A and B are shown apart, each in its own frame.
Chain A
């Protein structure tokens, strides 16, 4: 076999294998559902402890510890601040389309927006609820690439509604198991607002939960938030946990 034949066969094989790995836009749209499914705990309750370190160029480093509880099957979550002392007892309770913020100082619940900043950090309330990428975004394009040692698909997404926090996103997801490694979040004008990295995951049964997240504010250099998730649990939570009564009971 001469060199030309070997080269031709190699090109054909490589092209074939590439086409096997390649993803069309419509297939990528379906994969968004898969990404949602493997990160949502549809039939399980989920709880964890989040340690959030925010680095702000003006105010320095701040540490928050938050208890997180989720029941994705009922569209419910509860986030309770444990540290620092000035925020202890503050809580976010979401039931269906309603999100309440509880202020232990005034003992009042107030409606708030999923788009709001979470506890003054670079994370958003919407970062902690059930994943709904397939509902909220449509895939505009799919490219292939590499991020570190991982072969990835690079998906460009556009919001399908104005309820989402960011009008467009670029996602880097692994080819092997569609875990999100990185996202870039853009404004309506196409300005890069935030970069998020997800360098480690914990597997609970068939589900994957990021155990480390790094959010970088792209508008103010040096502003970052890192969230580490520990004490993961999928044990059943009582119904009474997702109530205003529970939020009032646990706060100081």
Chain B
């Protein structure tokens, strides 16, 4: 360790010496401008695929503490009425990466999340949300093996995140991952299924075949298959894929990413024959749960992003927006809003789930604007909205990276809409959250 540190210091010292040299020093000395290069005997591409130590251990650590309050602007009379809370957020990931030879690689990543206690599900004192199992504390995020046949056909087998859609806030084409994009945290890694990916690159194009092994699989008919082609035409990349699982709604999708000038654009279109969702129907005063297995549904999204960086300072801004047409939504979202509580309990008992009540509208939008006036300071405004019931969230915020290991964030999200709307089940709501992140790092 000491030797490595000394070498690094010497290296930085030698570079600092070069930085300090004038043009006359650099070009006026006795050194020749060029020398015959001694070609490396090692294959760098091979070296990257093997690890002399056999295995590499790494991971990340994050500690965040947030404090704030949420209030109904119409009912809070004074500051004393505000109820402050404080929430710690501690998590770490740990991975191993074993590369015994250039032909194979084994990788696994586990995540540990605070609190490290399991709550008993006591209906008398807790709600379902407070129930916490062991696999909420420690869980396997990824566990897979990479290998290939003849350096032409590449496999990734195991539990893995899958790149299927191209949407940023919404991705209806992502039919394979177990978790959906959280529009408020769109860069977060998604959890993928147990699957076998086969990939054949053909110049800049790629062919894929995913074979998915859903949880609880019992026989070959439970397998799902998803072939996909990624085709590059000029500066546009087009993805075409199909998802098929016996007795489930088959789907086909098309994605594209491209650019018009400096504006990046992306889009997805999905056609499903049948939906795996349960729908609420109202016939007169009676509510029922229905499924549609032989109806064609169409979902699509279109988005764009633009980044501008000043050439004369650290100023930059990024704007991103996306529209989502949800063909599995209700043309009249008031249908859900107006279900009486007693009726809803009955529908839930009849098979309706909480996820069936999400994304109830057919039209959504999301956008984010971030401005960095100086290095390490960013102002942002995030918005997501339901265009049908006109509810949504607008979240202005600011983050400041004070040092490499300390950052502060302040967010003031306002949830607007009428009681019973998608984003305002009770009423509109104003929150304040101050967050501090300490010691976050990767190793």
Contacts and interface: CB of A to CB of B under 8 A. Distances in A.
A13 interface: no
Question: Size range of the interface on A?
Answer: 35 or more
A226 B15 contact: yes
Given A149-B28, A208-B34, A245 B189 contact: no
A208 B15 CA distance: 22
Contacts of B259: 111
Given A107-B189, A109-B163, A252 B34 contact: no
Interface string A78-107: 001000011010000001111000010111
B31 A95 contact: no
A49 B44 contact: yes
A191 B312 contact: yes
Interface in B134-150: 146, 148
B127 interface: no
Nearest to B200: A245
A98 B443 contact: no
Given A63-B8, A63-B12, A204-B39, A98 B34 contact: no
A204 B49 CA distance: 26
Interface stretch (A3-11, A23-31, A135-143, A232-240): A232-240
Interface in A148-197: 148-150, 174, 179, 181-182, 187, 191, 193, 197
A235 B39 contact: yes
Interface stretch (B69-77, B229-237, B332-340, B420-428): B229-237
Nearest to B155: A245
B18 interface: yes
B58 A252 contact: yes
A199 B26 contact: yes
Nearest to B403: A59
Interface string A223-236: 01010100111110
A228 to B, nearest CB: 8
B156 A248 contact: yes
User: What's the dominant secondary structure at chain B's contact region?
Assistant: mixed
Nearest to A55: B19
Interface in B310-329: 311-313
Question: Size range of the interface on B?
Answer: 35 or more
A67 interface: yes
A245 B163 contact: no
A192 to B, nearest CB: 10
With most chain A CB atoms within 10 A of its CB, the pick from B148, B203, B237 is: B203
A238 B234 contact: no
A209 to B, nearest CB: 7
Interface in B1-52: 8, 11-12, 15-16, 18-19, 23-24, 26-29, 31, 33-40, 42-45, 48-49
Contacts of A126: none
B312 A235 contact: no
B234 A69 contact: no
A63 B11 contact: yes
Given A201-B34, A232-B39, A249-B154, A182 B23 contact: yes
Interface string B94-106: 0101000000010
B288 interface: no
B299 to A, nearest CB: 20
Contact of A249 (B26, B35, B49): B49
Given A49-B44, A147-B23, A148-B28, A97 B34 contact: no
B33 A96 contact: no
A147 B154 CA distance: 52
B331 interface: no
Given A209-B37, A238-B45, A252-B95, 17 more contacts: A47-B44, A55-B19, A61-B16, A67-B44, A86-B442, A107-B163, A111-B258, A191-B312, A208-B34, A212-B18, A214-B18, A231-B40, A235-B43, A240-B201, A246-B45, A248-B146, A252-B58
A30 to B, nearest CB: 22
A132 interface: no
Contact of B27 (A148, A202, A237): A148
A250 interface: yes
B12 A85 contact: no
Interface string B429-443: 000000000000111
Given A98-B237, A231-B44, A111 B39 contact: no
B119 interface: no
Contacts of B45: 47, 69, 237-238, 241, 246
B35 A98 contact: no
Contacts of B189: 105-107
B131 interface: no
26 contacts: A48-B44, A51-B11, A55-B16, A61-B12, A63-B8, A67-B44, A88-B442, A95-B203, A96-B204, A96-B232, A97-B235, A106-B188, A106-B189, A147-B23, A149-B27, A191-B312, A208-B34, A209-B37, A231-B42, A231-B44, A232-B37, A232-B40, A233-B42, A235-B39, A240-B151, A249-B154
Contacts of A103: 187
Contacts of B133: none
Contact of B206 (A111, A204, A208, A244): A244
